[in-house]
Structure 1
Amino acid sequence: MQQIILKGRPFLVLILIFILTACGGDDDGPGPGPGPGPDPDPERTAQDVINDFENLVINEGTNDLELESIQEGVFWKFRLIVPEGASPTNKRPLVLRLHGAARSGSPEAHLSTECLVEPGFQGKDVFILSPNSNGLFWYQEPNIVQVQALLELVSSRFDIDQDKVVSMGYSDGGNGSWFFAEFNSVFFGDQFSASIPMASSYRNPPGDGDVSKIDIPLYVIHGTADDLFPIETTKGFVDEYIAAGTDVTFVEAEGLVHNNPCTYVSYLREAVNWLETEVWD
């Protein structure tokens, strides 16, 4: 299934993103009610989210976390893997990992990092941030807000090398990685240095419109036997982006099918080598 993206859509969530990344805000006081006194059901503020994140116990290694968003009762579930030895003099890369089957609504979808991203980046001492899609595509507004906010919160608390932040994902997560790369400037302040979409099928805009150049390099991996997203279709999209001026490395994973992401580890390791030697060098 192909994403449907509206190019240049003026997402209203930009306002929410700005609020969430601010250090604080004015208190408008109690809402309307019968008489003086505090609002009996106050709304959450950006500072509430920041404070809650700062109060989370996060250790080196794997941390499975939950954070209430700025919308009361709406929680972000995410895994954060913290490498040993990160410090102001030893800042480490950050990998944003987007899981597949985004619309499944599985509360544990973000926990499957042992299958691909962890062995793919084994020995590289990177931070891995793996959010849950909450049953929505990654390009939908709530997930743009979630990812942008979590990136800001993690970067503000930990020693992240801001020149080495990469998004990667598989299937729906691969499509999300394409989208975040294309709108890197709009939503993420050019935070990503590269993108690694795997088993994806992304084109923006859908149909016959011309695609636009993406300003960061992409390393696109696709199985030759992918039975959900045919490789011919994805290769056609890749060729269009290359023609538009995008730096795309396209790698065919010989004989690999769609629903077995764990078999792509060796190809992800090659992508990591590309990051270290051609992007981050």
Structure 2
Amino acid sequence: MKHVFKLASLFFLVISCNNSDIDSPDMETTRTPDDVRQDFENFDFQPGINDITLESTTKGYFWNFRVIVPDGASQSNKKPLFFNLHGGAQNNIPDAHKSTDCLISPGLDGIIDAFIISPNSNAQLWYEPNNQIQVLALYDLATSYLPIDTDKIAVTGYSDGGNGSWFYAQYYPNMFSAAIPMATSYNTAKSNGSIAPITIPLYVIHGENDTLFPVETTQGYIDESIAAGSNINFVIASGLDHYHPCDYVSYLRDAAQWLKTTVWN
């Protein structure tokens, strides 16, 4: 089931702790949103890679994420922002958010000079409540404290991250101007079976030989969404499978060019 929270209130929610994490009923388990904001504001972000650990609004619950800062970004020279959602979201991989050299960085290099925020899923799917809280909180923090052009924010991801990209495009279109899902199998039908158009454009990339998510299944979901009124470019990556994401760089570069010249022009 997909659980959707409202942006206005989500950052102020307290992430639930397991009872085993609480030593006593009197133990302080929450921090205020201002505590989180202050910690984020105090980070010394430098051009290039910044690997960050930020304590959330629950004591002892941390968000681990990478922020790549483009050269020359300033309040007088604001830059676009990409949210990069990694694959294998249910696997407990402490450094999964650091895999930016494989796909997202070379995919944008020389085409779009942008901030990249790459969060760690904490072994949960991207549409799970904790990850919605994380993504929306990082969105709030980044757009509040970094020189970001809020008219140019996109979400992308591979495999589980691609499904996450679909999800945020569908349920949080006011946050993003476009989505670039890759190697996905995301059914846009709601729980009642209805399909509503997604209101931001998507550029969907899928491997021809993907055996985990057969291309025919993804094509069917896309056809249904287009029939409902969605604006989707669907590109099949010739000869590519699911298990070599770094091979998709040239296709992501085409998507970045589409974003730059068609969506953000």
- Say yes or no: does 1:109 pair with 2:90: no
- Say if 1:212 and 1:119 are closer, same or farther in 2 by CA, change over 3 A: same
Question: Residue type matched to 2:166 in 1?
Answer: W
CA RMSD of superposed structures (Å)? 2.0
Q: Please report how far the alpha carbon of residue 164 of structure 1 lies from its aligned counterpart in structure 2 after TM superposition.
A: 0.5
CA distance in 2, matches of 1:183, 1:222: 22
Structure 2: distance between partners of 1:221 and 1:160: 26
2:220 pairs with 236, 255, 258, which one?
236
Whether 1:53 aligns to 2:40 is: yes
TM-score, normalization by structure 1: 0.86
Match of 2:256 in 1: 272
**Unpaired runs of at least 5, structure 2:** 15-24
The offset of 1:95, in angstroms, is: 0.5
Q: TM-score, normalised by structure 2?
A: 0.91
Equivalent-residue separation in structure 2 for 1:12 and 1:210 (angstroms): 21
- Aligned partner of 1:76 in structure 2 is 63
Aligned ranges for residues 41-190 of structure 1 at < 5 Å? 41=28, 43-123=30-110, 124-185=112-173, 190=174
Displacement after TM superposition at 1:210 (Å)? 2.7
Q: Which amino acid aligns with 2:158?
A: Y
| Distance of 2:225 and 2:216 partners within structure 1 | 14
- Structure 1 CA distance for aligned equivalents of residues 106 and 167 of structure 2: 24
More displaced 10-residue stretch of structure 1: 121-130 or 231-240? 121-130
Q: In 2, are the aligned partners of 1:203 and 1:211 still within 8 Å (CA)?
A: no
Partner of 1:102, secondary structure, is: coil
- The CA deviation at 1:16 is 3.8
C-alpha spacing 1:42/1:172, structure 2 compared with 1 (3 Å): closer
SS of aligned partner of 2:151:
strand
Aligned residues: 254
- Offset, 1:49: 0.6
Counterpart-to-counterpart distance in 2, 1:200 and 1:256: 13
3-state DSSP of counterpart to 2:11: helix
Shift of 1:11: 3.9
Residue 17 in 1 paired to residue 5 in 2? no
Residues 102 and 137 of structure 1 are in contact (CA less than 8 Å); yes or no, is this contact kept in structure 2? Answer: yes
- Name the stretch that deviates more: 133-142 or 56-65: 56-65
How far is the alpha carbon of 1:57 from its aligned partner?
A: 2.3
Pair 1:246-2:240 in alignment: no
Report the 3-state secondary structure (helix = DSSP H, G, I; strand = E; otherwise coil) of the residue aligned with 2:80.
Answer: strand
Identity across the alignment (%): 52
> Are the structure 2 counterparts of residues 90 and 104 from structure 1 closer, same or farther at C-alpha, using a change threshold of 3 Å?
same
Rate the CA distance shift 1:208–1:157 in 2: closer, same or farther, 3 A.
Answer: closer
Q: Is the 8 A contact 2:155 2:178 kept in 1?
A: yes
* Matched letter for residue 121 of structure 1: L
Mark the structure with the bigger radius of gyration. 1
Identify the residue that residue 212 of structure 1 maps to in structure 2: 196
